[in-house]
Structure 1
Amino acid sequence: MSRRNRLVKVVTAIAALSLLAAACGDDEPAAVVDTSAIEAEAAAAQSEAESAHAEAHAAQEAADAAAAQAAEALAAFEQAQADAAAAGEADAAAAAAAQAELDAALAAAEAAQAAAEAAQADAMAAQADAEAAQDEAMAAQEAAMMEPEAASIIRFAFAPDPVWDWLTDTGLLAQWEEENNIRIHTSSTWDEFTYFAGGHGDIVSMGTQEIPVLENETSITTVTFGKYNFQRSPMMRRAGDPYETLADIPLGSNICVSSPVSNTGFWTVLADQLHGIDYRVGGGDYNLIVNDHFVNPTNLLRGDCEAAVVIPEAAVPHLRAGEIEIMYGGRMPFQLYNEFSGLNDGKNHVMSNLFTATEEWYDSHPREVAAFLELWQIGIAEWEENTADIVRAYPQHFAVEDEADVEFTVQFMQGANDWFVESVYLDQEWIDNEVAIYDFMTELHPDNPNGLPVGYPAPRYEVVGP
């Protein structure tokens, strides 16, 4: 092969290598992923990829330089050939010099080719390193995205509840937990006040009147953000007894109650405002005996007390049989509030179950608060649509066993007697009228556990929208 042909082949090869180097080194790097939220390994891999691309660009520049050098060598060779032809035999010295220049050009071209091949090899290696580093970064990011975030936990204490059981057994609770990445750890108790006072929960279902008492007696600061059940425990008598109101019962008589607070907090205010009676556990004008809701109907019928304040569902069989009757014209506390409050906003008031959290937990968990209310609004919708089915599914919550008791319960809770709210969400007007009962609590006997001091710190209520 002639020297010229060899040199042309070199230049052609260098040009091809230059194009290949451009394909490898001049492409923009793959889109850089945002590694701010992934592990340091991904960030390091991305940095390595960028360095590899810089090396590839440097290799390309070397290849381009080699190609330029080869082109110069070719030009020198052609000039040397022209010079040799012009000199001919007449000028042998000039021909020899041209031949030497040709040999030098060929050596330079071959050296340029070797340099170009080495530069191209470096560029290819750098490109491979860049792609590997980029793949590593993407894999790290995908792994971080696939790793599930730890579920948030809500510790919730409340009384046994049929709607909660329904949400659990229908899978609605599990669906909500999955969608919101929240788990609710429950503690079932009829004495939520004591449980919460011990610092064992994040959220508790608590009566309106219990909240300022809790704050006054403990160091707990609360936030109330939702509602669920109205205060529903009516005062009951044995059928045939002449008592229409508390004022008709002889002073000093035994009255069966479920707690020193809770519904007793409502009846102590009503007794003071309507009758001027001191009604409290541990003193006052009557002897209040504390027992479980579901025991008190039997205690009343047995004559252990002259009246009993009991949740209606604990007395269903006796109410249906006509053995026990509800005093105050058959009305429950939330239907009696306007008798002494002077308020009439067209809404029911005085709750036995508000959703109340510690202030520290509430302020740091806005997402969980909103999701919690959403869950209970689902529960309310389920109750309204499936009342009879829920009562039949959980008769233990209503002290019912046969179909007649189930039907009585369903009918009893229709219309104005339904103690479930229509919406768990608060509004400011409702809050203002609800907390008005606190002022009445400042007028109670100083030894009344439901009393509040004048100038008490007002509990915090917050409106949380759906």
Structure 2
Amino acid sequence: MKQNLTSKRVVRSAATLLLAASAMAAAACGADAGNQPPAGEVPPETQTPAADADTIRFALPSEPLWQWLVDSGTLAEWEAEHGLRIEASHPFRPFTALVSGHADIILIDALDVPVFSEGLGSDPVIIGKYASDRSIAAIKRTSQATDFAGVVEGQIAMESQLGSTLLWSLIVEQAHSLDLSEESPDFDFILATSGVGDTVERGGADACICLPDASVANLSSGMLRPLYDGKSASQIYAELSGQPNDRLLGEVFLTEREWFRAHPNEIGAFLELWETAVGHWHAHYPELIAAYPELLSVQTQQDVDWLTHHITGHNWITPSVYLTGGDARAYADAVKRLTERGQLPADAIAPSVITNRPTPAGGE
């Protein structure tokens, strides 16, 4: 079904639905009426009132690197060395687990945070980076387009108007002076529920914003062809910004400022663990793709080969988890631009980017 929706309306509707769902989750958990969680669903496995002092409660999507940390014994060694334990969960909306008090740290798209935290009243902070935005634009193989300018007035399939779509709107505006947002006269949006790649392949849309792993079957078969030479949104945005080697924050580690200040040792150790993980990815991603195909939507050897080749030129996992001043400035600029365009609520909370490494003395 074609959805010609405004970005502002979708953003605010998403926030409203998340608030309502959270209120029901809090009631079910016996939460105090004055402290209702503002967003999403609380998974049963994280419904504990508090964690032990030496436990870090971590909510994240299913990720091959997390599974490698568990299976390789790296996590167990880290826990023994630091006297800490990570209690992991995989809720549908990790942000909910954080704001409802059921997680200490979450992995989330940085551009989603200002939307989900609208009216929250808490103070989220980004403490580390995990990945840049890996989404690509793609079209049916018979199309002659090479970029979004070639599909003007076409139908664009996407999973959501948040996250990657927000970043693509900035790209399309800067690169083509076209509007990929509120009541756009340039494009029609299709919110696909059965896979954006499949939607384009079946002729239900002219192009899509998709994740290369989620649409790997369509791409590896050649039924979909990437635009922009297969570059990701983060790669294109960095080039347009004049900083081709500095990619905008994508998936990040987020916590609340109060927890950050109270747990510098835990955060420092946590980031060390993930520094080990991302280093292993860059040295061994072909093996990890083959080892955990189900976590990357890979089903055939053709899929494995295509995704491995794609990552070789478009690796989305960050080389280091530690944040820089450039990360903070680029993120603040992107949030400002999206707010000025009305795609992010003016009163939303934009998280601070913590660029120094936590120490036992705490502080920022």
TM-score by length of 2: 0.76
Query: Corresponding residue for 1:255?
Result: 156
Q: What is the match of residue 161 of structure 1?
A: 63
SS in 2 for 1:309: strand
* Equivalences for residues 192-231 of structure 1 within 5 A: 192-193=94-95, 196=98, 200-231=102-133
2:218 paired with 1:321: no
**Shift in CA distance, 201/259, structure 1 to aligned 2, threshold 3 Å:** farther
SS in 2 for 1:314: coil
**Per-residue CA shift, 1:416-439, capped at 9, x if unaligned?**
411111111112233223432122
Contact 1:151 1:183 in 2 (8 A): no
Cα shift readout 1:185-233 (whole Å, capped 9, x = no counterpart) = 2232564455545554221222232233334442231111111111010
Aligned partner (choices 285, 292, 300) of residue 387 of structure 1: 285
Instruction: Report the counterpart of residue 329 of structure 2 in structure 1.
Output: 432
Kept after mapping to 2: 8 A contact 1:237/1:307? yes
CA shift, 1:258, in A, is 2.0
Query: 2: CA distance between counterparts of 1:190 and 1:288?
Result: 24
Match of 1:403 in 2: 301
The answer to whether residue 233 in structure 2 is matched with residue 333 in structure 1 is: yes
**Pairing of 1:21-420 with structure 2 (within 5 A):** 152-189=54-91, 191-193=93-95, 196=98, 200-251=102-153, 253-280=154-181, 283-285=183-185, 286-291=187-192, 295-341=195-241, 343-344=242-243, 346-414=244-312, 416-420=313-317
Structure 1 residue identity aligned to 2:198? T
Which deviations, in whole Å up to 9, do the C-alpha atoms of 1:255-287 show, x marking residues without a partner?
A: 221223111121122233333433248x43444
Q: Contact between 1:349 and 1:434, CA under 8 Å: does it hold in 2?
A: no
Q: Which runs of 5+ in 2 are unaligned?
A: 1-51, 359-364
* 3-state SS in 1 of match to 2:294: helix
Deviation larger for 207-216 or 163-172 = 207-216
Amino acid in structure 1 at the alignment position of 2:236: L
Any idea what the Cα deviations from partners look like across 1:239-261, whole Å, max 9, x if unmatched? 1212322232242x432212231
Asked if structure 1 preserves the Cα contact closer than 8 Å seen for 2:98 and 2:255, the reply is no
Judge conservation of contact 2:119–2:349 (CA < 8 Å) in 1: no
CA distance in 2, matches of 1:217, 1:199: 17
- The structure number with the bigger radius of gyration is 1
Partners of 1:237 and 1:180 lie apart in 2 by: 48
Count of paired positions: 306
**Change in CA separation of 1:371 and 1:263 when aligned onto 2, cut-off 3 Å:** same
* Cα deviation code 1:122-168 (max 9, x no counterpart): xxxxxxxxxxxxxxxxxxxxxxxxxxxx6522222222211111111
Q: Which has the higher helix share?
A: 1
Inter-partner Cα distance in structure 2 for 1:189 and 1:241: 38
For 1:306 and 1:202, locate their aligned partners in 2 and report how far apart those are by CA, in whole Å: 41
| Alignment RMSD | 2.5
Q: CA 1:242 to 1:198, structure 2 compared with 1: closer, same or farther past 3 Å?
A: farther
* Partner amino acid, structure 2, of 1:187: S
Q: What do residues 307-337 of structure 1 show as CA deviations (whole Å, max 9, x unaligned)?
A: 1111111122322221111112321111111
Q: Give CA-to-partner distance per residue, 1:281-315, whole Å, 9 cap, x none.
A: 8x4344433346x8221122112222111111112
| Contact residue 208 and residue 350 of structure 1 kept, 8 A | no
Q: Is the 8 A contact 1:151 1:181 kept in 2?
A: no
Residues 248 and 330 in structure 2, CA contact (< 8 A), matched pair in contact too: no
